Structure 1
């Protein structure tokens, strides 16, 4: 599974730059493998991202802004949903990845499985 993060290398918006840096820094801190895909320099990346963000997740103008996050072809979300997952300690679930062994999320998941088995 490859996490794809669509970014704009030459965005004029400091807000977008800050959001992109936040996503990338957090993924790196968690040691999550990801592929950054630039939509500013690569028209194919931009077209793919725009085409694959679900209609209900697109803004009113219809053009999703970076960062947009996918697990392979599966849409995970934009910065706001990433931020919410980060706040809820559910980034692995947001990304569609199993939590690594020894992590709090892994321990929580095992606890839930044990409760279901009882």
Structure 2
């Protein structure tokens, strides 16, 4: 499974640049394998990203802005949903990846499973 992060290498927007840097830096800190796909220099990447972001996730103008995150062909989300997952310690489930042993997310899953077992 390859995480695909669609970015714009030559964005004039400081906000977009910061969001892209935040996503990439966090994935690198977690040691998640990912591929950066530039939509500014590659028309195929741009078209693929635009076609594969679900309709309900597109902004009112219909053109999704980077960064957009996919796991292979599956849409994970944009910066806002990534940020929410980061805040909730659920980035691995957001990305559709199993959390590594010992991570906060893995510990949360174990605690939830134990609570369910005790409830039964």
What is the CA–CA distance in structure 2 between the aligned matches of 1:111 and 1:67, rounded to whole Å?
32
How high is the TM-score relative to the length of structure 1? 0.96
Q: Which runs of 5+ in 2 are unaligned?
A: none
What is the CA–CA distance in structure 2 between the aligned matches of 1:15 and 1:104, rounded to whole Å?
29
What is the CA–CA distance in structure 2 between the aligned matches of 1:93 and 1:18, rounded to whole Å?
23
What is the CA–CA distance in structure 2 between the aligned matches of 1:97 and 1:31, rounded to whole Å?
12
Match of 2:112 in 1: 112
Q: How many residues in Structure 1 have an aligned counterpart in Structure 2?
A: 118
The within-5 A match list for 1:1-118 is 1-118=1-118
When the two chains are superposed, the root-mean-square deviation of aligned CA atoms in Å is 0.9
Q: CA deviation at 1:114?
A: 2.8
Does 102-111 or 37-46 show the bigger shift? 102-111
Q: Which runs of 5+ in 1 are unaligned?
A: none
Q: CA deviation at 1:117?
A: 3.3
SS of equivalent residue, structure 2 residue 114: helix
SS of equivalent residue, structure 2 residue 76: strand
Deviating beyond 4 angstroms after TM superposition, the runs of 4 or more aligned structure 1 residues are: none
Q: CA deviation at 1:102?
A: 1.2
SS of equivalent residue, structure 2 residue 80: helix
SS of equivalent residue, structure 2 residue 15: helix
SS of equivalent residue, structure 1 residue 4: strand
